[in-house]
Chain A
Amino acid sequence: MTASLADRFPVGHTETLTHRVSEAVIDRFEAFSGDNNPLHMNTEYARSKGYSDRVAHGVTSLAWLSALIGTRLPGYGALWRSLRVDWLQPVFAGDEVTLSARVEAVSAEHRMLTLAVSASNQAGITLLRATAEVSVLDEQARVSASSVSTRPDRSRTAGQHTETQETILVLGGSGAIGSAIAEQLAGQGFSIVIGYHANEDKANQACERIAHNKGNARSLRVDVAKMSVEDLQNQLDELPAEFQRRAGLVVAGSSPLLFHAPEQISFEEMETMWRSNVRALWLGYHALRERMTENGWGRVVALGTSALVGTPPARNAAYVSAKSGLWGLVKSLALEAANDGTTFNMISPNMVETDYVRHVPKRVKMVEASKNPRRRLAQPEDVASLAAYLFSREADFINGCNLPLTGGGVMFG
């Protein structure tokens, strides 16, 4: 991270932030500032003065400017030095205010940015214009700030392909669920490495779809059953710079279902299933652990099954026991490895409508869908939506959870 200030924040670089000014926001501002002027607090009074509703305190918008500067432009390391502001139009309860800050000038000598700021409402009316000067503390300050388990850089770089973009390795990424998760996360601004075993075509097709939607993805052959941690790390290291901020892992693959009765199951079958699940998490975790610790932020999501809590389906002993092992490893990591800012969780859907269950008789799927309270099977996109949430900042405290995704078909607890 030795890029110059002008490289990191070129003139013209713009960040925006939108907030809704609810009545509660106005009330809370009054509560802590003590400014109970009836223009802000009393609708009738405000109307008697010719306004349509309570007028928000003008400084409210500047509180959000503080968030914009402190978390996005320039983000952690920001030290706000000066502000000149002209309020042009009132802000009312219910308005949606979009703040925009654009880099006007960069002083390398003073490590200072000059920002041109404006705010507008949902009708596009400009509410204020301002000029702010912000110094940027050195890299060391930024690194120490990043040791809290929030995400210092992603919000600043979301949607751009930069060397600081966070990268997620999706093992089993060529399958229907893995690729749905990959595409959803790419849409949120993550760089994606799609790890595939046999199906290179499908992996590349997923990469193409991501590229088509202006996302960033590469495919990588990963034999989770045999590959060493060093080999995986070396292959990841050889990817371009925008894939080097590795911060997340999805374990979505599993070897094929064979539907053997217990007496037919060989130990090799058990082992193959175990390697495709438990070893995949072990391998991915070890390959990414160092980078996730450096980042101070990481996310690991493994795909489980609702069979772990409900009655398991018949002729699936190898699958169910491997998923049980996977869940055991997720729990142990959640206990022992989460304090460096990484969380570990499992998503457990019931039957998902994919090629993986193509050998399950049609009638079994129809019955499952008909009996489900939501009257359908799970879709890969359902899993992707929950995974996307687990990869969000808001999911920071969710750790060691096995999250059911069953439409109510299997209920927990």
Chain B
Amino acid sequence: MNDATQKQVFSLMESVFGAPDGTVNLETTHDDVENWDSLNIINLMMSLEGAFGVSLDAEEAEQMLSTALVIDILESKGVE
């Protein structure tokens, strides 16, 4: 995934989780973000689907436990 796309993902996550700008990075996990909960994961799925034109399923939602995993899932859908 290129840097610009990565930044877009970080920014989407910050927006969904209500985290301050610049706080989400490649190392961020669900331990680091207060609002990383099941409701917001649904919101994140919808944001990602809208932004990248991909379709995400429930199993993938369960796997979204860190930024690295979110990126891995998007990459497996061909997001570059």
Contacts and interface: CB of A to CB of B under 8 A. Distances in A.
A363 B29 contact: no
Given A370-B65, A370-B66, A371-B65, A363 B31 contact: no
A370 B29 contact: yes
A308 B31 CA distance: 29
Contacts of A371: 65
A366 B62 CA distance: 12
A363 B30 contact: no
B64 to A, nearest CB: 9
A148 interface: no
A contact face: mostly helix, strand, loop, or mixed: helix
B56 interface: no
B70 to A, nearest CB: 10
Contacts of A363: 63, 69, 72-73, 76
B51 interface: no
Given A367-B65, A370-B65, A371-B65, A362 B30 contact: no
B31 A366 contact: no
Given A363-B76, A366-B72, A375-B29, 7 more contacts: A363-B73, A366-B68, A366-B69, A367-B62, A367-B69, A371-B65, A375-B31
A366 B66 contact: yes
A97 B3 CA distance: 60
A320 B57 CA distance: 29
A246 to B, nearest CB: 46
14 contacts: A362-B72, A363-B69, A363-B72, A363-B73, A363-B76, A366-B63, A366-B72, A367-B62, A367-B65, A367-B69, A370-B30, A370-B65, A370-B66, A375-B29
Contacts of B31: 375
Interface in B30-54: 30-31
Nearest to B72: A363
A177 to B, nearest CB: 25
Interface of A: 362-363, 366-367, 370-371, 375
A367 B69 CA distance: 7
A101 B1 CA distance: 66
9 smallest A-B Cβ distances: which pairs?
A: A370-B65, A367-B63, A363-B72, A366-B69, A370-B66, A366-B68, A367-B65, A370-B29, A363-B63
A367 B66 CA distance: 9
A375 B27 CA distance: 13
Contacts of A375: 29, 31
A371 B31 CA distance: 10
Nearest to A366: B69
B13 to A, nearest CB: 15
Q: Which has the most chain B C-beta neighbours within 10 Å: A367, A371, A375?
A: A367
Nearest to B68: A366
Contacts of B63: 363, 366-367
B77 to A, nearest CB: 12
B62 to A, nearest CB: 8
A375 B69 CA distance: 13
A62 B72 CA distance: 65
A288 B62 CA distance: 48
Contacts of B73: 363
B67 to A, nearest CB: 11
Contacts of B68: 366
Contacts of B69: 363, 366-367, 370
